[in-house]
């Protein structure tokens, strides 16, 4: 690269004129979030990388239709999320994020990740299980908006793009999803403390 | 106990979710630029450059005639001869020499052994479940419903706002003549506002896909059959919106009174036309 890193927009422009090297730089910049979105949507670690790769190839082909000057990442994530969803359906898989959550407990820690941080250890035991259980009962869209915002910390524009929602609706839908998460957590209480009055 | 999270302040719940996120077993980081770059170099320049070439196609300023012309040019550019006329306002068909790269549609039978957690169609990304009345009062076009005897009313109605003016999907569970295709859906009818200048629907058709021009209520339509094809919308601002719905791979698409309608799941063209012609 030259003296300063190029902006995404410049790389997109070059890639749109057929510069594959410029596009490779875009891939490197966004592959991590792309694979993670694919994983959250598709529920399969094995498929996530393939889905992200395919999405990058499709996005490249679609670059001539990309609006110049628009941010690249939301657009890319919309394609990634669609690709992952299509693959999940084609494979006849259900939304397996719930199952993945349920399995987190027994999984090996992901390679490359550090040991649990002290903060992580704070969320242990019952709270953690209750959250996982509550999330697994929620609708895929609710779960995804929560996962995008809190697990991946995606900005609203990217969350909206990945979900195919109008940008302005993310805040209110997230708020409703959190409300339903609270309800689900409350139900967990009821099932465990039978007969308790939770008003 | 979790009541702390259920009833505590937002910050506690949000912090708990962020912490939970750190323990999600995401796939390990790996460099994809190598394999992606290798594929792109092997495939040559972006196919889409063909799209730009004829007319600098930008949805906002595209004239109906230009769309038809562009489709014709694309057909020629791809070296595929197609009999008949393919002009359908608001719809653009893109032919490619290679089949769509998505994996083939799942087998027509629903996956076995996995209980359906949601309602039929809920896994298809159709949006929120609403009543027909709610759908009618919340989208910017008249919603049409088939009146074919024996078909009955739609079992479920979904609405989304991923396209300007909204999109409504009618879901029919499997019934005689319409066996289950995907996710407990026998027949799926999707409709949305389809001004040619604003919204374009693209079908990427591979070499195995047959496209046939038809008439529905006297309006122009297209019947896609054979190999699976993928559907891309050009949304506002030229953003590409990839459709995620694929049932049998056969689809009837037509435009009527500024609305684009799509029907999937019918076993053949004759059945698709019977349903389509019954839509008032």
Confidence label for B163 from pLDDT (cuts 50, 70 and 90):
low
For chain B, the straight-line distance linking the first and the last C-alpha, in angstroms and rounded, comes to: 56
Asked if B256 and B277 count as a contact pair (C-beta separation under 8 A), the reply is no
Asked if A113 and B21 count as a contact pair (C-beta separation under 8 A), the reply is no
Distance from CA of A27 to the nearest CA of B (A): 5
With residue B3 as reference, give the H or E element that holds it. Answer: helix B3-7
More confident residue, A21 or B69: A21
Least-confidence region, from A4-18, A88-102, A137-151, B89-103: B89-103
Asked if the model's pLDDT at residue B53 lies above 70, the reply is: no
pLDDT at residue A99, as a whole number? 53
Q: What is the rounded average pLDDT for all residues in chain A?
A: 79
Tell me if chain A has a CB within 8 Å of the CB of B11: no
Q: What value does the mean pLDDT take over residues B2-17? A: 83
Asked if the model's pLDDT at residue B83 lies above 70, the reply is: no
Asked if the model's pLDDT at residue A153 lies above 90, the reply is: yes
Of A95, A110, A122, the CB nearest to B123: A95
Confidence label for B272 from pLDDT (cuts 50, 70 and 90):
very high
Which of A20-29, B29-38, B164-173 is most confident?
A20-29
Asked if the model's pLDDT at residue A104 lies above 70, the reply is: no
Q: How far is CA A37 from CA A62, A133, A170, A179, in A?
A: 20, 21, 16, 23
Residue that the structure tokens 């393919």 belong to: B86
Tell me if chain A has a CB within 8 Å of the CB of B150: no
Report the DSSP pairing between strands B187-193 and B251-256: unpaired
Report the DSSP pairing between strands B91-95 and B200-205: parallel
What's the rounded Cα separation, in Å, for the pair B180 and B187?
Answer: 8
Tell me if chain A has a CB within 8 Å of the CB of B238: yes
Confidence label for B164 from pLDDT (cuts 50, 70 and 90):
low
Least-confidence region, from A41-45, A134-138, B156-160, B255-259: B255-259
Least-confidence region, from A145-154, B174-183, B205-214, B248-257: B205-214
At residue B100, φ and ψ (nearest 5 deg) are: -55, 145
Asked if the model's pLDDT at residue B233 lies above 50, the reply is: no
Point out which residues pair with B233 in neighbouring strands. B201, B241
Under an 8 A CB cutoff, do B13 and A39 touch? no
Contacts of A169 in chain B (CB under 8 A): 161
Closest Cα partner for B24 from A166, A142, A95, A103? A103
Question: Torsion angle, CA of A22/A32/B16/A99, rounded to 10 degrees?
Answer: 140
Q: What value does the mean pLDDT take over residues B43-47? A: 57
Confidence label for A92 from pLDDT (cuts 50, 70 and 90):
low
Residues B105-132 have pLDDT tens digits of: 333 333 333 334 578 877 677 888 999 9
Asked if the model's pLDDT at residue A196 lies above 70, the reply is: no
How many CB atoms are located within 10 Å of the residue B104 CB?
12
Residues B168-227 have pLDDT tens digits of: 999 998 888 888 766 678 888 988 875 443 334 444 455 566 677 788 887 777 787 765
Asked if B260 and B276 count as a contact pair (C-beta separation under 8 A), the reply is no
Under an 8 A CB cutoff, do A63 and B48 touch? yes
Residues A39-80 have pLDDT tens digits of: 999 878 878 999 999 999 999 988 887 887 789 999 999 999
Confidence label for B14 from pLDDT (cuts 50, 70 and 90):
very high
Asked if the model's pLDDT at residue A178 lies above 90, the reply is: yes
Local structure of residue B217 (DSSP, 8 states): T
Contacts of B123 in chain A (CB under 8 A): 89, 94-95, 140
Q: How far is CA A15 from CA A63, B42, B48, B139, B275, in A?
A: 8, 15, 12, 38, 45
- Nearest chain A alpha carbon to B18: A150
Asked if the model's pLDDT at residue A24 lies above 90, the reply is: yes
Confidence label for A192 from pLDDT (cuts 50, 70 and 90):
very low
More confident residue, B46 or B189: B189
Under an 8 A CB cutoff, do A89 and B182 touch? yes
Q: What value does the mean pLDDT take over residues A12-22? A: 90
pTM for this entry? 0.49
């Amino acid at each position: 690269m030259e003296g300063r890193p190029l902006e995404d927009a410049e790389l997109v422009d070059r890639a749109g004129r057929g510069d594959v090297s410029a596009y490779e730089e875009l891939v490197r910049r966004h592959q991590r979030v792309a694979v993670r979105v694919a994983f959250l949507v598709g529920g399969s670690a094995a498929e996530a990388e393939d889905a992200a790769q395919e999405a990058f190839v499709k996005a490249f082909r679609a670059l001539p239709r990309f609006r110049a000057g628009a941010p690249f990442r939301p657009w890319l994530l919309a394609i990634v999320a669609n690709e992952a969803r299509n693959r999940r359906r084609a494979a006849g898989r259900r939304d397996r994020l719930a199952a993945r959550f349920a399995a987190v407990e027994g999984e090996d820690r992901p390679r490359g990740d550090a040991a649990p941080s002290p903060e992580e250890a704070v969320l242990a035991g019952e709270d953690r299980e209750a959250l996982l259980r509550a999330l697994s009962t929620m609708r895929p869209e609710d779960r995804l908006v929560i996962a995008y915002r809190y697990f991946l910390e995606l900005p609203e524009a990217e969350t909206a793009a990945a979900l195919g929602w109008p940008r302005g609706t993310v805040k209110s839908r997230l708020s409703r999803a959190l409300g339903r998460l609270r309800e689900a957590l409350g139900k967990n209480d009821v099932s465990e403390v039978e007969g308790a009055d939770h008003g | 106990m979790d009541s702390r999270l259920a009833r505590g302040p937002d910050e506690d719940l949000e912090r708990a979710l962020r912490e939970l996120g750190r323990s999600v077993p995401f796939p390990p980081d790996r460099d994809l630029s190598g394999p992606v770059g290798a594929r792109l170099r092997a495939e040559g320049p972006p196919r889409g450059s063909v799209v730009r070439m004829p007319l600098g196609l930008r949805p906002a300023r595209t004239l109906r005639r230009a769309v038809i012309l562009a489709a014709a040019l694309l057909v020629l550019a791809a070296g595929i001869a197609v009999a008949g006329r393919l002009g359908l306002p608001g719809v653009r068909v893109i032919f490619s020499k290679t089949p769509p790269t998505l994996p083939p549609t799942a087998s027509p039978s629903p996956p076995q052994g996995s209980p359906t957690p949601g309602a039929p169609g809920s896994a298809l990304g159709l949006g929120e479940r609403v009543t027909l009345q709610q759908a009618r009062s919340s989208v910017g076009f008249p919603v049409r419903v088939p009146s074919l005897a024996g078909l009955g009313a739609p079992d479920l109605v979904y609405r989304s706002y991923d396209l300007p003016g909204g999109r409504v999907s009618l879901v029919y569970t499997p019934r005689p003549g319409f066996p289950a295709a995907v996710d407990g859906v026998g027949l799926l009818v999707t409709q949305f506002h389809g001004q040619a200048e604003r919204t374009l629907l693209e079908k990427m058709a591979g070499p195995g896909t047959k496209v046939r021009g038809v008439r529905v209520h006297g309006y122009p339509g297209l019947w896609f059959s054979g190999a699976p094809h993928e559907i891309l919308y050009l949304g506002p601002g030229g953003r590409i919106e990839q459709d995620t719905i694929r049932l049998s791979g056969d689809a009837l698409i037509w435009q009527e009174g500024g609305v684009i309608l799509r029907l999937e799941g019918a076993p053949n063209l004759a059945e698709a036309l019977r349903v389509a012609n019954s839509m008032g």
